[in-house]
Amino acid sequence: MSYKRLFQRALAAAPERLHFAAHSHHLWPDASYVGQLAAWDDAARLADRKWERVMGEIWPAAQAHVAAELNLPDPNTIVFAPNTHDLLLRIVSALPNRPLRILTSDGEFHSFRRQAARWEEAGTAIVERVPIERLPSRAGAGEHDLIFVSHVQFGTGRYFLEAEYLASLARPEGPWVVIDGYHAFMATEVDLSAIADKVFYLAGGYKYAMAGEGCAFLHAPPGFGARPEITGWYAEFDDLSLPPGQIGYAPDARRYMGSTFDPSGIYRFVAVRDMLAEEGLATATIAAHTARLRAQLLADLPLKGEVISAASPARFVALRSPHAQRWQAELEAQDIITDVRGDVLRIGFGLYQDARDVDALLEALSRL
């Protein structure tokens, strides 16, 4: 089965390229182009009044799509921002203790890893990093204010299975549990209904949601962090009539908003999600398609190395080898796009690939 017809613009832009880095930068479907044009057209047509459409129609539509994907009981627990880093800063600013005691895994994405290291350097946080297998037992010790872990580890594709246990530890007064869902959201089916009242969940449109940058989101459980210290005027959108000197906050997830933002990413996200619904392409359907491609690659993989993602739902193969950097560079020289993290080569799969692409990749790998 091929779905290339949904990606004609991206594929035609570089027809000789083999793009196997969907886990890092997913190619955009044609629907995203429609969404981008709609954002521009609304800005031209409505001018100052475009925000009524953005916040009154586009934003709620995007909230509904995220809530449906994650099986959340209330779409109003979703807030959007240009990136997850912005949202992380607002979460941390709402926690009262300093230095902040953070527990995390030793395999987190470099944005969080860098920020945590800088907090540590500045003396504003004490960070404990453990292998992901040990994180639940350390969390149970009750010695931390913030527990941060990826739902799917970005380097290895390993799936974290103890989210419900961490949720059982979470309290409004601390600890708070933040799950980075970027490599899980729309890569595999995720049901947060049982823990939606306890955990924060971060993800966005850049990877498997196929909508590009500018559309990160946070699910913020009610009662956790009513007044973030890092805040913008949109966070009091419902309270603009307050007397001078009073700092109000929206009663829902908008309490974590910043200030004026570019809404085009949210337009693209809504357009892509609407397209997927029209095509009958649920996350499970897309995952089954990419799983077949992944299995095809693994069945004939000519490279010698340790596959460290074999039992993972992640949509990439992670292959550890001292040759990983060279392999990635030689593939890129042939316009075959993968990526590398240290000694791990990652080969990612998306809806825009089919069996012929995998055959071409296998042929190129055999020549390395």
> What would the pLDDT profile of 94-121 be if each residue is shown by its tens digit?
999 999 999 999 989 888 999 999 999 9
pLDDT tens track for 248-270: 899 999 999 999 999 999 999 99
C-alpha–C-alpha distance, residues 74 and 176, integer Å: 20
CATH of the domain at 322: 3.90.1150.10
Quick one: what percent of the chain has pLDDT higher than 90?
A: 89
Sign of CA dihedral 156, 157, 161, 166: positive
Supply the pTM of this predicted model.
0.95
Domain count, the chain: 2
Asked whether residue 103 falls in the same domain as residue 149, the answer is: yes
Q: Do residues 64 and 148 share a domain? A: yes
Cα separation values, 340 from 175, 244, 310, 322, Å: 34, 52, 17, 11
Identify whether 25 is part of a domain: no
Percent of the chain exceeding pLDDT 70 equals 97
Coil, strand or helix at 37: helix
Instruction: Let me know: does 262 contact 214? Beta carbons within 8 Å.
Output: yes
Query: Do 263 and 341 share a domain, yes or no?
Result: no
Residue with tokens 């892509």: 272
- Residues near 278 by beta carbon (within 8 Å), at least 6 away in sequence: none
pLDDT (tens digit, 9 = 90+) per residue, 35-78?
999 999 999 999 999 999 999 999 999 999 999 999 999 999 99
> pLDDT value at position 236?
84
Give yes or no: residues 234 and 260 share one domain: yes
Of 276, 309, 331, which marks where a domain is finished?
276
The model's confidence at residue 242, banded by pLDDT at 50, 70 and 90, is low
Enumerate residues 6+ apart whose C-beta is below 8 A from 37.
Answer: none
Buried b (16+ CB within 10 A) or exposed e, 76-100: bbbbbbbbbbbbbbbbbebbeeeeb
Average pLDDT over residues 146-156: 90
Q: Answer for the pair 368, 330: CB distance below 8 angstroms, yes or no.
A: yes
- Given a cut of 60, is residue 240 above it in pLDDT? no
Could you tell me which of 350, 65, 10 has the C-alpha nearest to residue 204? 65
Residues 212, 351, single domain; the answer is no
* CATH number of the domain encompassing residue 159: 3.40.640.10
State the residue for tokens 């994907």: 69
Asked whether residue 26 is assigned to any structural domain, the reply reads no
pLDDT reading at 238 higher than 70: no
Q: What pLDDT digit, counting tens, does each position of 271-324 carry?
A: 999 999 999 999 999 999 999 999 999 999 999 999 987 666 778 999 999 999
Same domain flag for 298 and 258: no
Q: Give the CA angle between residues 133, 135, 136 to the nearest 5°.
A: 95
pLDDT number for residue 266: 98
Whether residue 1 is predicted with pLDDT greater than 70 in this model: the reply is: yes
* Full residue range of the structural domain in which residue 61 is found: 32-276
> Does residue 110 sit in the same domain as residue 217?
yes
Average pLDDT, the chain: 95
